[in-house]
Amino acid sequence: MSDFDIFEGMTSISAVIKSIQNGSSDRRIIKILYNEDRLSKKFRELQFLKHTADSIGFKIFPVAADEIDNLTSGTTHGGIVAICTHRTFPDLNVKNLTNGGFYTLIEGIEDPYNFGYSVRSLYASGVDGIILPPRNWMELSGTVARSSAGTSELANIYVSDPADAVTAFKNAGFEIVCAEIRDSVSLYEHTFSDSVLLVIGGEKRGISRKVLELADTNVRIEYGREFMGSLPSASAISVISFEILRQKRNKR
C-alpha cells in the first residue's frame, strides 16, 4: 500500500480542504503540485490554494506536465494534484447516531467508480452516515473522490461488520430496510420511519443472508415497463435515497 493518496483536480482537492477545515476527516495535505501552463488563467483558484496553504499548512509547487501525468490515472486532473495522508474511517458507534436520521449500509459494491457514484447520490440526498464493511478503501480514495465529485471526503463514513451494524441500528430503534426483490413491497407504497437504515447490496453478491434476516422490510423499485433486469446499484441508491428525502420533507 502506498504511504499517501493522490487527489486529482480542483473539485476533489477542494473537498479535501473542506473536510480538513470542518474536522470531518483526519486527512492532511502534504503538498499540491500544479502545471503553470494549464493553471495560468485560473488566478482565483491559485490564490485560494495559496491562502489555504498558509492556514492549514501545506506547500504548493509548480511542476512540469509530465510529472503530474505520471502521478495520475486519468486525464481530468486539470493540471493539479494533491498528495495527502490517508484518512481514518472510524468504527461505528451507535451512541453517536442522529435521532430521526437516515443512514445507509453498502454491502458488496466492489468497483470504486460505482461506490463513488453511490456516495455522491447519498450525500446529495442528505444521508447522515454511510456504513461500510471492513475493507481497505484507502488505496482507492483518489478514484472514489473523483467519481463522487468530492463528496466521499465530506460524507460521514463508518466501518462495521454488516450484521453487527444492522443489529446495533435495530436495537437503537431504527427501521431496517433492504433493497431486495424477494418478499418485497413497492418503494412507493412503503412509508419510511423517521429513523431508517437503508441496506444496499452489490450487483453480483447482493445483500448477505444474515442481514436480510434482520430486515424489517424489503423494498423494490417499480419499473415503467416489463423489465427482467435490475438497475445498477448506484442508480438504485439514487432512486431510493431521494424517495426517503421526499417523504421526510412531506412530513415537515
Average pLDDT over residues 36-40: 69
* Set of cell numbers at residue 89: 474511517
Best mean pLDDT range from 43-57, 72-86, 169-183: 169-183
Distance, in Å, from the CA atom of 26 to the CA atom of 32, rounded to the nearest integer, reads: 17
Helix pair angle (43-56, 9-21), 10° resolution: 30
Cell 435521532 belongs to: 99
Mean pLDDT of the chain: 89
pTM of the model: 0.89
Burial 91-105 (b: 16+ CB within 10 A, else e): ebeeeebeeebbbbb
How many angstroms separate the CA atoms of 198 and 114, rounded?
Answer: 17
Which domains are present in the chain? 5-84 (3.30.1330.30), 94-250 (3.40.1280.10)
Is it the case that residue 188 has pLDDT exceeding 90?
yes
What's the whole-number mean pLDDT along residues 106-135?
Answer: 92
Indicate whether 41 pLDDT > 80: no
- Per the CB < 8 A criterion, the answer to whether 13 and 80 are in contact is yes
- Cell numbers standing for residue 193: 420511519
Q: Is the pLDDT of residue 191 over 60?
A: yes
The DSSP code sequence of 158-193 is: EE--HHHHHHHHHHTT-EEEEE-STT-EEGGG----
Q: CB–CB of 59/34 below 8 Å?
A: no
Express each pLDDT in 65-105 by its tens digit: 888 888 877 667 788 899 999 998 888 888 888 788 999 99
Average pLDDT over residues 221-238: 90
- The three-point CA angle 84-87-93 to 5° equals 165
**DSSP 8-state symbol, 96:** G
